[in-house]
Homo-oligomer: A and B are copies of this chain.
């Protein structure tokens, strides 16, 4: 149902990645909302897990992952803006990734897929926009990995972006986040069903991917939120047992178990690594030098309780913009819901984004 509005575009010929590898004619799956008009295109860039299905396309359609934010009359108003969202290169919702068939071998790429960077994701999305006839974006807007991608987009193609919104994203990935993602990847790889990435005939390494998702979920929320929401409430089973569960355990287990039903384990590994490699300053002489390339008007939003992108990383990014002589509008949202707050509190994120796009 949510795939009804999915469109596909095939890049003509080989696409060269930052590492120097090439991917033959990669496909990008994407969706659009609204009508392309005069300077009204907005690119939404996704986090690791969401698909391009940001919002429903009508009452009969499934809700999207940012349904509260995107739609007619909403903060990102599809009556006004032509909104584009693409599934990222390396992902598993219709765009070319490790589960895709390599036309050179007629086999799935598996771990033969090249290691990609967020710059590769940006490069392909930029080519898609050219294909769609979008020569200049009103804005690029993203959260989490999407925020990193938005920052890279505005850095790589400054002439193509008027406004930038980066939510819960840093200018470069710091070691705490690398550590958290390393253990998630190791969880996938520890599952014997992963089989070195060659599992497609046998089925997903569900146990390992679920565990990875549980670890990720811990980093997406916060201690205070969970203390208030779950406390020490007991769910079921014997107290003095390994099987008995606190409510927080039941919650995590649910988050973990549903994940392999929609997400490919190898895609997870590739995008996880791409985020580790995120560094605006790479080959650009420093963070402020990189940021000085950006001409888009920047809005940066962070969350006080975010443990994955803690406030000091938002400050670092804001400082880079200041050092580049291009001060950003910086908003710190003071809620307990951590990294995922942009999904949970549209009332706090919507107004500043709406104002930034519209002004």
Contacts and interface: CB of A to CB of B under 8 A. Distances in A.
B115 A241 contact: yes
B276 A246 contact: yes
Interface in A203-236: 207-208, 211, 214-215, 217-218, 222-224, 226-227, 229-232
A187 B190 contact: yes
A351 interface: no
Interface in A148-190: 172-176, 178-180, 182-183, 185-187, 190
A273 interface: yes
Nearest to A273: B242
A327 interface: no
B231 A175 contact: yes
A175 B227 contact: yes
A329 to B, nearest CB: 25
Interface stretch (A40-48, A88-96, A247-255): A247-255
Contacts of A191: 190
Contacts of A176: 218, 222-223, 226-227, 248
Given A218-B176, A240-B19, A211 B190 contact: yes
A72 to B, nearest CB: 39
A95 to B, nearest CB: 19
Nearest to A185: B242
Nearest to A269: B242
A23 to B, nearest CB: 13
A191 B194 CA distance: 12
B115 A175 contact: no
Contact of A183 (B218, B223, B232): B218
A226 B177 CA distance: 10
Contacts of A307: 223, 307
Contacts of A172: 232
A236 to B, nearest CB: 15
Contacts of A180: 218
Interface of A: 18-19, 21, 111, 114-115, 117, 172-176, 178-180, 182-183, 185-187, 190-192, 207-208, 211, 214-215, 217-218, 222-224, 226-227, 229-232, 239-242, 246-249, 252, 269, 273, 276-277, 279, 307, 310, 312
20 contacts: A19-B239, A115-B241, A115-B242, A174-B226, A174-B227, A174-B231, A175-B227, A176-B227, A176-B248, A179-B248, A179-B252, A182-B252, A183-B187, A183-B215, A186-B214, A190-B191, A190-B211, A215-B215, A223-B312, A240-B277
Closest 6 CB pairs of A and B: A19-B240, A176-B223, A175-B248, A115-B240, A175-B226, A175-B230
